[in-house]
Structure 1
């Protein structure tokens, strides 16, 4: 009988380090399809920083952890290879929660067909978590207005690059914070950001002051770390801070200290953290908001693809080391 690879979580990352000891690879028989079911052959799998949280024992987070022995959680795109479900035909390309496995047996719940003209990479880079997260955070909580200034950290990442392009299309001054000159060049010369700060080599305080002459109205936070103090101190009255991620602190022994809250009172600043599971019911509206920007050619993206399910753990580490140059995807 034909088999497929599946990777399960078998140990918690107690030291916040991701390594092969956390996972177990199994060879399983490809299951038979029963009435109402579909069999999906996964072709492209997303890797996201949130996975470190999903592996942990934290049961007060926005989503329950992956239980030990379960297939590691992820979203992905695949092709329906067998179907006994009237809503799906063999050959359909679908996107949903697939997990770290080569085949997925499903009743179709949570899977959506890719629209004509949408490639697998576009689906994961734009219409999956990155685009939905960017759209939710920027518009639901950032409330951007034409002529304002926004600073985006992790600006070359899958979410940050989308936030910056959406804000730029809406007439904001967009400044991105990145970790290399190559990424700075990409967001300015390819994506159209108004300026970039390389937090590893620039004098952050002076560079930020130079690039934000009217200070900062919206701060979209993806990384945490020392940059947050500098941006916080440049906020205008009634500014909005949207906290999407803190990747610089996820593996730290102690998270970096946050800013002094006195300016929150003096400047009446709003800070809002959010997570996408609270907004799954808004998917139609989010896609309705995002899609026109894509159709009008205002959104560019790039994927950093690696081959083979067996390299998923290595790819996930690349995210935390800042070695990726686009949305991290595993091609199966």
Structure 2
């Protein structure tokens, strides 16, 4: 019997780096395919900041945590290698929730065919969770208008880079918050952002004031951290803040204090958190919105690829250190 490798979650993070002690690498027998099922060989797997929440014991989050002993949750892209399902044929390329595993037996729920003639890395970087998240948060919450100023944190990341490029294409002034001078150079000179702030540098308030002389109308929050307070102070009346992630707080036992609420009243700000599971039914409409920008060459991306399924166990720490350059992907 042929076997394959999967990785189970066996312990919860308690703060600090993610390591192999939280996981168990197991060998499983390749399953037989029953009626209405098909078998997928996963080729590329997405690593996303949302995984830190999925590993936590929080039962009141937007999605139940991964049960200890179960395969770690993730999305990915692969090829159908055996099928007894009328809608999926051998050779079809599919994308969706697969988990940290080389193979997945499924009835098709949560998986969609991929027909775009693009490499796996491009699909996961643009048309999968990053692009959908960027499109949903920017347009449903940010409601950008031509001539406004938008600031996005995590601007060189998979979501933030797409947010900035969409807003730039719509005629906004776009400032990105990044964690290195190299990333600042990339978003300005490659992606067309109007400016960048390295949050590890000094004089953050002064830099932000210089780059946003007319204040800030839209803030797309991916990271948290001290820069959040400086952006908040420069929000214009009736500004909109889409809260997508707070990666700076995920490894901490006690999160940092948020900005004072008084300016929310004085400036009549709209602040809304969101997660994509609430909007899976809107994916066709989101893709319809995003695709023209991609086809017109207005959306660029880059991928940071790790090799081998087991690299995921420590690869997640790149989100904490900021060493990932682009969409974090595991090649299986």
**Normalization by structure 2: what TM-score?**
0.98
Aligned counterpart, 1:294: 294
Partner of 2:167: 167
Moved more, 197-206 or 138-147: 197-206
User: By how many angstroms is 1:16 displaced?
Assistant: 5.0
Deviation at 1:110, TM superposition (A): 1.4
In structure 2, runs of 5+ residues without a counterpart are none
| 2:10 counterpart of 1:10 | yes
Q: Which residue pairs with 2:158 in the alignment?
A: 158
Report the Cα offset of residue 121 of structure 1: 0.9
Moved over 6 A (4+): none
Cα displacement string for residues 15-73 of structure 1 (whole angstroms, at most 9, x for unaligned residues): 35411111011111111111111110000000011111101110000000000111000
For residues 201-212 of structure 1, what are the structure 2 equivalents within 5 Å?
201-212=201-212
Contact 1:49–1:320 (CA under 8 A) maintained in structure 2: no
Is contact 2:7–2:71 with CA below 8 Å preserved after alignment?
yes
Q: Output the CA distance in 1 between the equivalents of 2:318 and 2:271.
A: 29
SS in 2 for 1:155: coil
User: CA separation in 2, counterparts of 1:116 and 1:174?
Assistant: 29
8 Å contact kept, 2:14–2:253: no
SS of alignment partner, residue 231 of structure 1: helix
Instruction: Quote the offset at 1:253 in angstroms.
Output: 2.6
CA shift for structure 1 position 178:
0.2
User: Deviation string for 1:249-296 (max 9, x for gaps)?
Assistant: 111132111111111111111111111111111111111111111111
Aligned equivalent of 1:42 = 42
Deviations 1:95-146 (A, max 9, x none): 0101000000011121111123122111111111100100010000000000
SS of structure 2 residue aligned to 1:80 = strand
Moved more, 91-100 or 7-16: 7-16
How many angstroms apart in 1 are the aligned matches of 2:184 and 2:303?
17
SS in 1 for 2:248: helix
| Alignment match, 1:119 | 119
Aligned to 2:66: 66
Residues of 1 paired with 2:44 and 2:236: CA distance? 42
Distance 1:130 1:259 in 2: 27
- Counterpart-to-counterpart distance in 2, 1:256 and 1:14: 17
Contact kept, 8 Å, 1:156 with 1:325, in 2: the verdict is yes
Q: What residue number does 2:257 align with? A: 257
Per the alignment, residue 57 of structure 1 pairs with 57
More displaced stretch, 277-286 vs 140-149: 277-286
Take 2:111 and 2:232, find their aligned partners in 1: how far apart are those partners? 40
CA distance in 2, matches of 1:234, 1:242: 15
Separation in 2, partners of 1:102, 1:324: 23
1:272 aligns with 2:241: no
CA distance in 1, matches of 2:21, 2:34: 35
Equivalent-residue separation in structure 1 for 2:108 and 2:277 (angstroms): 19
The whole-number CA distance in structure 2 between the counterparts of 1:115 and 1:207 is 44
TM-score (norm 1): 0.98
Supply the distance in 1 between the matched residues of 2:325 and 2:151 (Cα, whole angstroms). 20
Inter-partner Cα distance in structure 2 for 1:76 and 1:185: 30
Number of equivalent positions: 332
Residues 9 and 72, structure 1, Cα contact 8 Å, conserved in 2:
yes
Q: Which residue of 1 aligns with 2:75?
A: 75
Alignment of 1:90-101 (within 5 A): 90-101=90-101
Let me know the Cα RMSD of the aligned residues: 0.9
Measure, in 2, the Cα distance between the counterparts of 1:90 and 1:265.
57
CA distance in 1, matches of 2:225, 2:163: 19
Mapped partners of 2:164, 2:194: distance in 1 = 10
Tell me the secondary structure at the aligned position of residue 238 of structure 2: strand
